[in-house]
Copies of this chain bind each other. A is one copy, B any other.
Amino acid sequence: MSRFWNKKTRELKPYIAGEQPKQKERIIKLNTNENPYPPSPLIKPFLEDFDTGELQKYPELTCMELRKEIAYFYGVSEENVFCGNGSDEVLALAFQAFFENGASALPLSLCDISYSFYPVYLQMYDIPSKPIPLREDFSTDIEPFLEPSGGVVLANPNAPTAMAESKEDIIRVIESQPDRVVLIDEAYAGFGVESIAPLVKKYDNLLVVGTASKSRSLAGLRVGWAIGSPELIEGLRRVRDSFNSYPVDTLAMKIASISFRDVDTYKKNCEKIVKTREKTVKELEKMGFFVLPSEANFIFASPKRVGAEFLYKKLKEKGILIRYFPKPRISDFLRITIGSDVQMEIFLDSVSVILAENGGSV
């Protein structure tokens, strides 16, 4: 606490990102849903040829090169695309632009268990909300999302559960709230979930948010986007231009554009991760874990008897980082990023050893 922080800053409960080990340590990092494979090989020659004098100038203000590539990929128009400094920034701008704040506003509908940054934004921007409990099996109960609201935020697949919504359910939500923005966060699309971004041409209240951090192996670059009707894109631009006119730097814009042009690397990396995920799930289930059905590049698994926190700590001692959330309903679970085959073998071996040392089973 400091006398210089204003009331809001004193009250904030900021987001806590997954641990980032110091680079020199030998660590298997399965805690922040990073991609284990390098991004497009076309980035390397681009960087070798890059004229650093281009950095003298501000980035191209409309981010047009990247917006065109994103539009082409999703089958929409560039006027449907907004780019930002990672999808967290895009989400923050969307919360600011579209959801009313203050006690008198109709509450925003979102799942009680979802991306842990959402409640941070709600607090940050004073947006009232109605958290809707996931069902006992962690699937989304869609009926409450059809009721009048101040807007809807749904992650598809959801995090940290990794479970997907059905396209039909999402369309029902969109159609039930024609005057409210329905934000679908597709940070983890590409590993089983197909994007609904093309639907923005039909539904002007649909905003789809994506990121280059997961399926495109570019977490270090900070590039995210939103896809929506031109009026939603214009709303995001208004808020952005009241905050920071150039959130995407020149190198990030150009490198992300290269990634979008290289569909092959994107697809191959996603396919490899899905294969490794299926193998990992089978192995964990063999050991007795309860694993939620995953359409993401991570899995959410409960070791039942031995305890999630215990296993998390034991793995950490062995240099394997996964994510544990000490929160109601999910404190029996672990979120495990799907790494390379070799990383997952080491992970599974380590789990076996820990189980053997502690009673033989989960």
Contacts and interface: CB of A to CB of B under 8 A. Distances in A.
A217 to B, nearest CB: 5
Contacts of A239: 9, 12, 14
Most chain B CB neighbours (cut-off 10 Å) among A36, A53, A179, A222: A222
Give the secondary structure class of A's interface. Answer: loop
A66 to B, nearest CB: 14
Interface residues of A, number: 88
Contacts of A53: 38-39
A123 interface: yes
A185 interface: no
Interface in A197-233: 204-205, 213, 217-222, 231-232
B246 A222 contact: yes
Contact of A52 (B44, B57, B181, B247): B44
Given A4-B232, A55-B39, A242 B124 contact: yes
Interface string A13-50: 11111001001000001001011111101011001101
A82 to B, nearest CB: 13
Contact of A242 (B12, B43, B57, B220): B12
A200 B28 CA distance: 40
Interface stretch (A72-80, A95-103, A130-138, A288-296): A95-103
Contacts of A92: 243-244
B241 A6 contact: no
Given A47-B50, A85-B244, A98-B4, A61 B221 contact: no
A56 B44 contact: no
Contacts of A101: 6, 8
A242 B14 contact: yes
Nearest to A33: B58
Most chain B CB neighbours (cut-off 10 Å) among A44, A61, A243: A243
A181 B4 CA distance: 6
Nearest to A35: B56
A3 B124 CA distance: 23
A192 interface: no
Given A34-B58, A56-B217, A245-B88, A5 B251 contact: no
24 contacts: A2-B232, A4-B181, A8-B101, A12-B242, A13-B242, A17-B58, A23-B60, A34-B56, A34-B57, A34-B58, A36-B56, A37-B56, A38-B56, A39-B56, A47-B52, A48-B48, A55-B217, A55-B218, A56-B218, A58-B213, A58-B219, A58-B220, A59-B220, A120-B241
Top 4 nearest A-B pairs (CB, nearest first) are A14-B241, A220-B250, A2-B231, A55-B220
Interface of A: 2-9, 12-17, 20, 23, 29, 32, 34-39, 41, 43-44, 47-48, 50, 52-61, 85-86, 88-89, 92, 96-101, 120-121, 123-124, 179-181, 204-205, 213, 217-222, 231-232, 234-235, 237-252, 255
